[in-house]
Structure 1
Amino acid sequence: MPTLIARRLAQLVPTVLLLSIIIFSLQHLLPGDPALVLAGENPDEATLAAIRAQYHLDQPLVVQYLYWLKGVATGDLGESMRHNRPVLDLILLKLPVTLQLAVMGICIALTVGIVAGVISALRQNTAVDYATNIASLAGISVPNFWLGILLILFFSVYLGWLPASGFVSPWEDLKMNLATTIMPAFVLGTGIAGVIMRHTRGAMLQALSSDYVRTARAKGLNEWTVVFKHAMRNALTPIITLGALEFGALLSGAVLTEQIFTIPGFGKLIVDAVFTRDYPVVQGVVLVTSLFYIILNLLADIGYILVNPRLRS
């Protein structure tokens, strides 16, 4: 395992460098001039020139990239053109919000998806199997914004149990924090739970029909040991990959869900930055998100080995 981790960490530097080039290049393909956005209405040429000089927009793209890369290497992601604050400060401000939603959403998705998938596989071609498949398809098919609006109407408007929108830090009021995040976390977790359920069901059916499971049953092992010790450990390998990718997607910002529930997370930050041509914020958020994906892939590889000892060779 140390060799695997060292090899993956060695691949991290060229991967991040390539990502930085792609992120910087694609960002500058967006139409519009950020200097015009910052200068407001009817700007004069002197103002535009000063803004371009301040943010190196008057330099060639290669020079702009080198300025940005030098800052990234030292932990400086630049300064937001709109907020006049360091991009890293904005990310650290928004990241805990999205991180909490992502953790809550993936916990809901994994719990519901894995349990439903295992039960569906064990009750194949029964009413329980058909019901769980219908529920998973509904979870995948229902749009997040529609489900979010329904939850707001039912739990906030009709019942008055939960606040319709907003976010309260857990350090201020933990109870209110859970009240403001449970609905958006459920919305995020529902669709992922449907995907995980179907993958778990397929993996469990394949594992339960394999030779080593038949051998375990022939030895007289009880069904609980056969299912959870032998079949499920092998079936979890694709679920680890799927869970890591979906968690990375949640960390990148659930734009629609955050907009519906007025959650000040990554989603709102990146949308506002794109519309205002705030290049440093867009580049910083996308770079941090990409790093999360790389780290999650590394953790998924480690998870394979922990779950399935045969992969250690």
Structure 2
Amino acid sequence: MLEIICKRLVLAIPTLLLVTVMAFCLQKLLPGDPVLAMAGEERDPQVIQALRAKYHLDDPIPVQYYRWLASAARGDLGTSLRNQEPVLSLIASKLPVTLELSVLSLLIAMIIGISTGILAAVRKGSWLDHVANVLSLTGISIPHFWLGMLMILLFAVKLRWLPASGYVSPAVDLVQNLRTLLMPSLVLGSGLGAILMRHTRAAMLGVLRADYIRTAKAKGLLPLRIVLKHALRNALVPIITLCTLLFGEILGGAVLAEQVFTIPGFGKLIVDAVFNRDYAVVQGVVIVVAVGFILLNLMADVLNIAINPRMRRA
């Protein structure tokens, strides 16, 4: 197990380096100059020159990249050009909000997707299977921002059951915290649950046709025991991998939900940084998301090996 983890970490190093090169080079292609925005309306040439020297923006691009990468390796992601705060502090203040939203969204997606996927596979060809497929296709097709606005109109404006926007920390009020995150979690979880349902159904159908399932049926085992203990355990390998990727997708792509529901999370941070041309924040967010994806894939490998020991030889 430890050898496999070390191999995965070694393979992740060139991937992370490639991500840093792309993030650094692509942000240089963004229109506008952050120094001109910081210099004010007068744009005094001496002020502009001093700002470029302060942030080393007058150095060649390879030198800028090396200096930034060396600082990032030490845990220093730089300072925000807009509000002069350390990028790591900004990310640390916003990331827990998005993590909480992502965990709730993934739980909703797993409850919806895995349960309906198992039922659709067990009842293949029945009305239940057809209804599950129609609902999954609907969940994939509906845009998140449109579903979010509809839910605000229904549950916040009409029924007044939930707040329309905002965020309350769980340390302040846990109940209000869950009320503010319920709608955005449902918006994100419904679409991901539809994707998870289709993959769960396909994985379960492949396992239910296996010879050992027919042997278990011939032995007279209860259908529920066959499905949950024998079939589901072997179908969990692709499902776990998909869940980790979906969690990373939520973590890096909760921009629309956070914008619609005015949640001060990770997605809103990067949107504001792009609009304000705050390059240090954009680079820091990209690095954190990349590291998150690598750790999630590593966690998926560990869980898959724990469930299926035969993968240790892979």
The match for 2:199 is 199
The match for 2:71 is 71
Following the alignment from structure 2 to structure 1, what is the Cα–Cα distance between the partners of residues 87 and 212? 53
Structure 2: runs of 5+ lacking an equivalent: none
The match for 1:37 is 37
The match for 1:6 is 6
The match for 1:188 is 188
Following the alignment from structure 2 to structure 1, what is the Cα–Cα distance between the partners of residues 20 and 44? 33
For the aligned residue pairs, the C-alpha RMSD in angstroms reads 1.2
The match for 1:135 is 135
1:64 is matched by which residue type in structure 2?
Q
Show structure 1 runs of 4+ deviating over 6 A.
none
1:81 is matched by which residue type in structure 2?
L
The match for 1:22 is 22
User: Alpha-carbon deviation of 1:27?
Assistant: 1.4
The match for 1:249 is 249
User: Alpha-carbon deviation of 1:130?
Assistant: 1.0
User: Alpha-carbon deviation of 1:2?
Assistant: 1.4
Following the alignment from structure 2 to structure 1, what is the Cα–Cα distance between the partners of residues 136 and 39? 50
Q: Please give the secondary structure, in 2, of the residue aligned with 1:48.
A: helix
User: Alpha-carbon deviation of 1:77?
Assistant: 0.3
TM-score calculated relative to the size of structure 2: 0.97
Following the alignment from structure 2 to structure 1, what is the Cα–Cα distance between the partners of residues 96 and 295? 17
Q: Does 1:283 align with 2:283?
A: yes
The match for 1:97 is 97
Contact 1:98 1:253 in 2 (8 A): no
Following the alignment from structure 1 to structure 2, what is the Cα–Cα distance between the partners of residues 161 and 275? 34
The match for 2:292 is 292
2:96 is matched by which residue type in structure 1?
P
Q: Please give the secondary structure, in 2, of the residue aligned with 1:160.
A: coil
Following the alignment from structure 2 to structure 1, what is the Cα–Cα distance between the partners of residues 312 and 11? 20
Following the alignment from structure 1 to structure 2, what is the Cα–Cα distance between the partners of residues 14 and 291? 12
Following the alignment from structure 1 to structure 2, what is the Cα–Cα distance between the partners of residues 172 and 99? 17
User: Alpha-carbon deviation of 1:206?
Assistant: 1.1
TM-score calculated relative to the size of structure 1: 0.97
Structure 1: runs of 5+ lacking an equivalent: none
Following the alignment from structure 1 to structure 2, what is the Cα–Cα distance between the partners of residues 265 and 50? 33
1:208 is matched by which residue type in structure 2?
L
User: Alpha-carbon deviation of 1:274?
Assistant: 0.8
User: Alpha-carbon deviation of 1:308?
Assistant: 1.8
User: Alpha-carbon deviation of 1:266?
Assistant: 1.0
The match for 1:215 is 215
The match for 2:52 is 52
Following the alignment from structure 2 to structure 1, what is the Cα–Cα distance between the partners of residues 311 and 291? 25
User: Aligned residues, how many?
Assistant: 313
Q: Please give the secondary structure, in 1, of the residue aligned with 2:51.
A: helix
Q: Please give the secondary structure, in 2, of the residue aligned with 1:252.
A: helix
The match for 2:86 is 86
- More deviation, 190-199/204-213: 204-213
- More deviation, 218-227/245-254: 218-227
Following the alignment from structure 2 to structure 1, what is the Cα–Cα distance between the partners of residues 178 and 224? 35
Q: Please give the secondary structure, in 1, of the residue aligned with 2:286.
A: helix
Following the alignment from structure 2 to structure 1, what is the Cα–Cα distance between the partners of residues 41 and 10? 49
- Counting aligned pairs with the same residue, the percent is 57
Q: Does 1:120 align with 2:133?
A: no
1:216 is matched by which residue type in structure 2?
A
Q: Does 1:230 align with 2:258?
A: no
Following the alignment from structure 2 to structure 1, what is the Cα–Cα distance between the partners of residues 140 and 17? 35
User: Alpha-carbon deviation of 1:305?
Assistant: 1.2
Q: Please give the secondary structure, in 2, of the residue aligned with 1:300.
A: helix
Contact 1:253 1:266 in 2 (8 A): no
1:133 is matched by which residue type in structure 2?
N
2:140 is matched by which residue type in structure 1?
I
User: Alpha-carbon deviation of 1:201?
Assistant: 0.6
- More deviation, 256-265/124-133: 124-133
Following the alignment from structure 1 to structure 2, what is the Cα–Cα distance between the partners of residues 208 and 253? 34
User: Alpha-carbon deviation of 1:31?
Assistant: 2.1
Following the alignment from structure 1 to structure 2, what is the Cα–Cα distance between the partners of residues 116 and 37? 52
User: Alpha-carbon deviation of 1:259?
Assistant: 0.5
2:55 is matched by which residue type in structure 1?
Y
The match for 2:304 is 304
Following the alignment from structure 2 to structure 1, what is the Cα–Cα distance between the partners of residues 160 and 296? 38
Following the alignment from structure 1 to structure 2, what is the Cα–Cα distance between the partners of residues 70 and 228? 49
